[in-house]
Structure 1
Amino acid sequence: MARTWHPSARIAALGIAAAFVAVAAPTVNAQIPGNNPRTTVYPVDSTKVQLDVEPVDLEAGTVRIVVQNNTASNLNCTGIGGGPAATVTTAEVVARSIDYFTQYPLSELADLTLNLPTQAGGAQQISLGSAQVQAGSAAEFLNPEWDALNQNDAALEQARLAGHYGVVGTTISIQANQAFEQTVRLDHPSSGERADFQTGVFMTCTVDGQRYAFHAYEGGAKPNYGTNDSTGSLGSAGLGS
């Protein structure tokens, strides 16, 4: 049976109280409700590739990482949608990212639009892109996935401003059963000196047609953040401290 999912969402802000109401729900034509053929799941527990991340060298502004290919194939690991092959940042951002991929599959979301009343009595439409709802606003009420996405975006922006962010190109090539090592230079902080922080590394790689999310934390310990005291479904598959 052919299955289609046409996700669309339109949020109306009504009056001064700005009550949010979904006025267009997804249309589903599938035997299993919620079955979205455009959804991609990235496993986070695989040891096909293992990572290790060292503490930040504050004087040099660098972080050393090791990527171990445990497969019998040469790998060319690339980022999602042309993004960086690997990202070094705070352990919190990495933990949030892994929790996101654990809890929510990656799906193609339709644009979200706000219909805002104007003084003249008309409506002003503001496109928010795929899910750009301000963290801490109605995002959690509307969809916890959007809220998690925006919370992670806010944490990443804070890390960038603090100089706790660096990337590894667009491709990491690793020979079969070999390791790749690189010292990653961090961006400069927007102001002041770079403070010490628990490092983390995140990358994705396609192995045998399946894309996986790989990660590691400095010291091998996943940090707690916010009100989330979870250790995740599977923790870090690192090489050790």
Structure 2
Amino acid sequence: MDKVVGSAAEAVADVRDGASLAVGGFGLSGVPDVLLRAVHDAGVGGLGVVSNNCGALDRGLAVLLAAGRVARVTGSYIGANKEFARRYLAGEVEVELIPQGTLAERLRAGGAGIPAFYTPAGVGTQVADGGLPWRYDGAGGVAVASPPKEVREFDGRPHVLERGIRTDFGLVRAAKGDRHGNLVFAKSARNFNPLVAMAGRITVAEVEELVEPGAIDPDQVHLPGVFVQRVVALTPEQAADKQIERRTVAVPGTAGRERR
């Protein structure tokens, strides 16, 4: 039952070229930076990644992307990562952009063993009709476009069929975890991490605080340990190493007033 491994390198040692990774995080919140750097240091490439975004600044998946290790991204947001946008438009990486809620449900469905589901999101757009650029040819043309999806009517309203997502590995970060893999996430880090953990066939969690089994109130567990195969305890320095993606402050004396 003790799922703790000695290091991040050990935890991702079986990630191979061409592996698929579901990666938790929302912006820079809850991103498994230590595990992703261990994947980078292992030298693997040709990776297919599923994540809300592909990292920002020099954090998270941005490290793998900048090194040319990512072949395909399934996500819902490109903004705030100029290198991601450049590689996409240059035809260096294939990108499947899908609505954010659909992405969350595709991960949850995959983890729950549901192969597909219908949703109204995307009906009447290229999400359903096909033609979204998955890969550019580097000269402004589209090399690979998304195929059309099945649309079916329920209660007089059209819905598009979406497939559940399963990946070889799920990489997540939790504020607290025990040796059995039960996890607690902090605030917006809870947005995608539990779903990513469910979608991975092998899920690895880096935890800021490792506690003994029984120390977490069962009612406070956000993700049960059945979804987690490996746990990596972060050092205090690693746990405290967090950045703010966009710092916004108020001008003195203007708080609560409209700025003109």
Calculate the TM-score normalised by the size of structure 1. 0.25
Query: More helix by proportion, 1 or 2?
Result: 2
Using CA pairs under 8 Å that are at least 6 residues apart, name the structure with larger relative contact order, 1 or 2. Answer: 1
Query: More strand by proportion, 1 or 2?
Result: 1
